[in-house]
Amino acid sequence: MFDNLSDKLDKAMHVLKGHGQITEVNVAETLKEVRRALLDADVNFKTAKEFTNTVKEKALGQNVLTTLQPGQLMVKLVKDELTQLMGGDTAGIDLSGSPSVILMSGLQGSGKTTFSGKLANYLKTKKTKKPLLVACDVYRPAAINQLHVVGEQIKVEVYSEEGNKNPVEIAQNAIAHAKQNGHNAVIIDTAGRLAIDETMMTEIADIHKAITPNETLFVVDAMTGQDAVNTAKTFNERLDFDGVVLTKLDGDTRGGAAISIKSVVNKPIKFIGTGEKMDAIDVFHPARMADRILGMGDVVSLVERAQEQFDEEESRKLQKKIAKNQFGFDDFIKQIQQVKKMGSMKDLVGMIPGAGKALKGVDIDDDAFKGIEAIIHSMTPEERSTPSVINGSRKKRIAKGSGTSVQEVNQLLKQFNQMSKMMKMMQGGGGRKMMQMMNKMR
Ligand SMILES: Nc1nc2c(ncn2[C@@H]2O[C@H](COP(=O)(O)OP(=O)(O)O)[C@@H](O)[C@H]2O)c(=O)[nH]1
Ligand SMILES: [Mg+2]
């Protein structure tokens, strides 16, 4: 996500490295590069200009005696300003109302149907809501079908009316149906066109007027950059929507839409979509996104995801085993399964400070664990619980059984030993050593 922009901003900051203090000249030079990086990322021209002007004022206004190095100071100022630009605080979604009604709007292909499913899944699992999905894209039978497939996948009821071509009626009937059947959240998926057109705008405006939703979300493909911002403007003039959903941020996006949309439309980004699967949804946090853009990683999100999947009971058992030196491959594989539950590897790696940059271009696929799992499955119970018994002939047997090589088995044993050592260390020295290691990575 935003690799190019991160790279260029990083280079821009390097201009200040080695300088003892902030001066008109070195600030101007750095900010020229920052502005160029923003424009290359497809950030709106006016936004980029205002951005660098603000940072410049703040940089020159700083007390020279600050403890921060000029480079660090600039990173901080750029980070704070990026955060502000993207909306400052995290914007929540309004779930009041019984039921709370959420209307999707946006062009065809922007990801409305996919996001409707993701949001229903999110509300169901995270907010313990009972959502109802509503198919108001009445023009293409395939679209209604698509929503039903999504609904089945996440076990959420889908409301649709065969033969009814009036989306306003369908939406109203769906809300009545929700009230009767105890659904407390109604998500309305609508039709889009390939480009802004009057019929579509009238239709969505009519639905909006008829049902007065709690939330009207504008869904937009982040990969379309400036176009995304312009479309947002048009939709906002008609609908006065409440928030933006930026989809497809997993693609190699330049980042312009994420950075400029708030300042141009003055509506917050509320959610982001980072993949086609139903769990590829994240609440948008401006500060964390700024961190990611600056290659500082998003440790907070990483920790949150870990906590969501965290099983306290399991963890206590594990601690005991580590303390007693009984940590074996069965535990290892459990750990791998926990990590896998947290999301795609690429996503996770992107959240580690510095790792995004270090691993750029390296293909991280989600099958990375497959070989490891195969090897572990080829071990006997004894070998799993007491890896030290694995000698040369056993290695050969394991390699053969798992369709890998002895080198790969060796590699895994080595990793396993390192991991065991690290776990021991964390038990003894507490989190401090871990933090030191992480800081070295930055
Ligand atoms: N990579 C990726 N693809 C997405 C995302 N959201 C939607 N898509 C894909 O974009 C295409 C259009 O999505 P769809 O929900 O049908 O758009 P709609 O026409 O607005 O309803 C589909 O192929 C989706 O799988 C996302 O966050 N990341
Ligand atoms: Mg659709």
Distances (CA, A) of 387 to 316, 320, 326, 327, 414: 22, 18, 10, 9, 11
- Is 106 part of any known ligand binding site? yes
Nearest CA to ligand 1 atom 13: 111
pLDDT greater at residue 425 or residue 317: 317
111 lines ligand 1 (CB under 6 A): yes
Which pLDDT tens digit goes with each residue over 256-290? 888 899 989 999 999 999 999 999 999 999 998 88
**92/386 Cα distance (integer angstroms):** 49
Ligand 2 center from residue 150 Cα (angstroms): 11
User: Comparing C-alpha atoms, which of 310, 307, 309, 297 is closest to residue 347?
Assistant: 297
Mean pLDDT of 197-204: 89
113 appears as a binding residue in the annotation: yes
- Cα of 144 vs centre of ligand 2, distance in Å, is 8
Least confident of 98-112, 159-173, 192-206, 357-371: 357-371
As a CATH number, domain 301-441 is 1.10.260.30
Residues 143-177 have pLDDT tens digits of: 999 999 999 999 999 999 988 999 999 999 999 99
Mean pLDDT of the chain, nearest integer: 84
Pick the atom of ligand 1 nearest to 116's CA.
Answer: 15
Q: Kindly report, residue by residue over 211-249, the tens digit of the pLDDT.
A: 999 999 999 999 888 888 999 999 999 999 999 999 998
Strand partners, 102: 187, 215
What's the 109 CA to ligand 1 centre distance in angstroms?
6
- Nearest ligand 1 atom to the CA of 146 is 16
pLDDT at 349: 67
Whether 130 has a binding-site annotation, put simply, is no
The amino acid at residue 6 is: S
Domain residue limits, the chain: 3-85, 100-295, 301-441
Q: Find the mean pLDDT for residues 84-108.
A: 93
How far is residue 416 from each of residues 162, 289, 423, measured CA to CA in Å? 57, 33, 10
Residue 109, annotated ligand binder? Answer: yes
What's the confidence (pLDDT) of residue 116? 98
**How many angstroms separate the alpha carbon of residue 1 from the centre of ligand 1?**
17
User: 245: Cβ below 6 Å to ligand 1?
Assistant: no
Please give the pLDDT value at position 208: 96
108 lines ligand 1 (CB under 6 A): yes
Q: Is the CB of 97 under 6 A from ligand 1?
A: no
Decide: helix, strand or coil at residue 181.
coil
Residue 146: CB atoms within 10 Å = 18
Give me the pLDDT at residue 416, please: 83
Residue 431 in this model has a pLDDT that exceeds 50: no
Structure confidence at residue 414 (pLDDT): 87
- Per-residue pLDDT at 135: 96
Q: For residue 83, is pLDDT > 80? A: yes
Question: Which fold does the domain 3-85 belong to in CATH?
Answer: Four Helix Bundle (Hemerythrin (Met), subunit A) (1.20.120)
Strand pairing partners for 84? none
In this predicted structure, the answer to whether residue 17 has a pLDDT above a threshold of 90 is no
User: Does 105 contact ligand 1 (Cβ within 6 A)?
Assistant: no
Rounded Cα distance between 290 and 113, Å, is 28
Q: Give residue 68's pLDDT.
A: 64
Q: Is 117 in the pocket of ligand 1 (CB under 6 A)?
A: no
| Multiple choice CATH, 100-295, 3.40.50.300, 3.30.559.10, 3.30.2350.10, 3.40.50.10140 | 3.40.50.300
Tell me the CA–centroid distance for residue 20 and ligand 2, in Å: 55
